[in-house]
Copies of this chain bind each other. A is one copy, B any other.
Amino acid sequence: MGEPVAFRCVSCGREYEPWSVDYTCPRCGPRAGTLEVIYDYKSLGRRLTPASFAETRRPSLWRYEELLPTGVEHAVSLRAGWTPTYACRTLAAELGLSALWVKDDSLNPTASYKDRATAVAVAAARKLGREACSCASTGNAATSLAGFCASAGIPCHIFVPKDAPKPKVAQLIAFGALVFAVDGTYDQAFDLCSEASARFGWYNRSAAINPMNVEGKKTGALELWEQLEGKIPDYVLVPVGDGSVISGIAKGFSELVWLGLAERTPKVYGVQASGAAAIAHAFQRHLRGDPILPADEPAETLADSIKVGKPRDVVKAVRYVAATGGGFVTVEDEEILAAGQALPRRIGVFAEPAAAAAYAGLLSLLRSGVIPEGATAAVFITGSGLKDPEGVLRGLPGPTVIPPELQAVERALSQ
């Protein structure tokens, strides 16, 4: 298993003994002071080869155990990761790309990319002997934690704002989580979750503040590299809400370079809805030379998983994306809707609107020439359209009604 050598503050750079701090840098606080898990890349790089991971024969993210903070012996049964990567040849040719890959992370246990983070976070909870977990979120992260805690047989406490969508809350309850509907804002729910977790000893998996999240999320990059047999796409597109998924993916590619397993990273591009673009704006300010600071903006988009106004992982997301030479792009809701309808029709993958946004971002970057003709690109599908079918299918035409006669089929076909 992996042996972290330090937990390092992403803002002040101070290093902490691994596991001596659970969440964020005490000096920089919970928003600026998120921690990075650091390994001895030099020593690991001498040992690991492209074949190292396949040899484990684990069809899950635990094939990268040596690059993870906890060992597979702490993992629960649910199989996170080792999701398929599809080569989309026809679509690539139409778009003028020399290759297009789609990584379908809707095929995780609770149907989202968040299962990668949860798999590692719940393993860490078990390693640390914590007997319960907690999380503030109404979305994929909460569902994921509830599912993994059910598999682990440990209690799960979820904090949501009182007006959270009923179907999502119902699914949390189905997984046996104790759901607190907080009569207040999302931020009040987030803070109450932190406070209650400290008071009752629950291991808090809330976005960004738990350094295990990015460790789990980096495995999507490692898999893409392995599944493409060492090829690194020129561009990688990732939907961005809180900033943790893209931080993980960027870190994964960077680690491959540090380990000597890849020569370069792809240019990683974050895609945000134009109505919820706090990190894209922070990135623009960073390019102008401003310091990277936590952001707080209004957020409005139909893509609920990336409808985030006060993202929790701004510093990592901006810094890590910049390190890959990538950037951010924003897309309109109409583009997200169109992308969400094109993906299932063209490649048979039914993505949630937030995930479709990544494909919309690809189209936008191709139109603007940022991604040149002949490039190679990969798109991360981070969640299933089954979680919000109505959001994806809005405005599609209905079926063709016919009497039960062959002639009616013929007539309908000739129209």
Contacts and interface: CB of A to CB of B under 8 A. Distances in A.
A107 interface: yes
Interface stretch (A2-10, A180-188, A238-246): A180-188
A192 B401 contact: no
Interface string A177-200: 011111110001101100110011
Interface in A144-194: 147-151, 153, 160, 162, 167, 169-176, 178-184, 188-189, 191-192
One complex includes copies of this chain to the number of 2
A148 B173 CA distance: 33
Interface stretch (A254-262, A278-286, A319-327, A403-411): A403-411
* Interface range on chain A (Cβ under 8 Å from partner): 35 or more
Contact of A398 (B90, B173, B393): B173
A16 interface: no
A346 B175 CA distance: 8
Given A109-B107, A348-B151, A350-B174, A59 B82 contact: yes
Interface string A52-95: 00100101100000000000000011110010101110100000
Given A173-B396, A389-B170, A196 B348 contact: no
A224 interface: no
Interface in A357-415: 384-387, 389-390, 392-393, 396-406, 409-410, 412-413
